[in-house]
């Protein structure tokens, strides 16, 4: 066998996405009611996030791209807020929000996010069911 194949070649297999497209890609992003961000001791709403970056609303305009930033995710489990300090690099800060590429604040961050997503879905379903009963 000479290693040749009659399969069609994918022309898009080696297409590289631009950095702008990668950092603002909506795939895999979530918005949760049980997590927010604290920057300089002030709470900020998360517009959406994924496992590596977060888009924050209402952040100060003195924060500029490529700046290192220390902040905390504040997760609420069983009505108890728990801060998880972390840091990251600012990708952009514009009218769409402050986008930060961050380091995971905990060793099992993926598991924590999965738990928060499930908890948020349960709370949403419970509110919907309560609304139908009224």
97, part of any domain: yes
CA angle in degrees (0–180, nearest 5) for 57-91-56: 15
Confidence check: pLDDT of 10 > 70 = no
Establish if 127 belongs to a structural domain: yes
Q: Does residue 99 belong to any structural domain of this protein?
A: yes
CATH number, domain at 99? Answer: 2.40.10.220
Q: Report the sign of the C-alpha dihedral through residues 73, 101, 49, 57, in that order.
A: positive
Measured distance CA(57)–CA(12) in Å, rounded = 35
**What is the Cα–Cα distance from 65 to 56, expressed in whole angstroms?**
14
From the list 72, 69, 47, 73, the residue with the least C-alpha distance to 58 is 47
Q: Do residues 100 and 53 make contact, with C-beta atoms less than 8 angstroms apart? A: yes
Q: How many domains does the chain have?
A: 1
- Considering the domain boundaries, does residue 74 fall inside one? yes
d(CA 20, CA 67): 17
Question: How does DSSP classify residue 23?
Answer: H
Reported as a single tens digit per residue, the pLDDT across 74-84 is 998 888 999 99
Structural domain includes residue 7: no
Q: What is the pLDDT of residues 28-66, one digit of tens each?
A: 889 999 999 999 999 999 999 999 999 999 999 999 999
The answer to whether residue 1 sits within a structural domain is no
Domain limits for position 129: 22-133
Six-digit token string for 15: 């297409």
Asked if the structure places residue 9 within a domain, the reply is no
Q: Is residue 8 in a domain? A: no
Q: Give pLDDT tens digits for 76-117.
A: 888 899 999 999 999 999 999 999 999 999 999 999 999 898
Residue 119 · residue 34 · CB < 8 Å: yes
């Amino acid at each position: 066998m000479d290693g040749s194949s009659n399969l069609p070649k994918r022309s898009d297999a080696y297409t590289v996405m631009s950095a702008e497209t990668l950092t603002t890609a909506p795939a895999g992003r979530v918005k949760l009611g049980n997590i927010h961000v604290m920057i300089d001791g002030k709470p900020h709403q998360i517009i959406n996030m994924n496992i590596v970056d977060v888009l924050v609303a209402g952040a100060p305009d003195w924060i500029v791209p490529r700046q290192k930033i220390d902040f905390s995710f504040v997760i609420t489990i069983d009505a108890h807020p728990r801060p998880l300090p972390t840091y990251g690099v600012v990708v952009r800060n514009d009218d769409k929000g402050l986008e930060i590429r961050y380091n995971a604040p905990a060793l099992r961050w993926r598991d924590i996010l999965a738990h928060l997503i499930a908890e948020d879905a349960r709370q949403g379903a419970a509110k919907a069911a309560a609304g139908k009963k009224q």
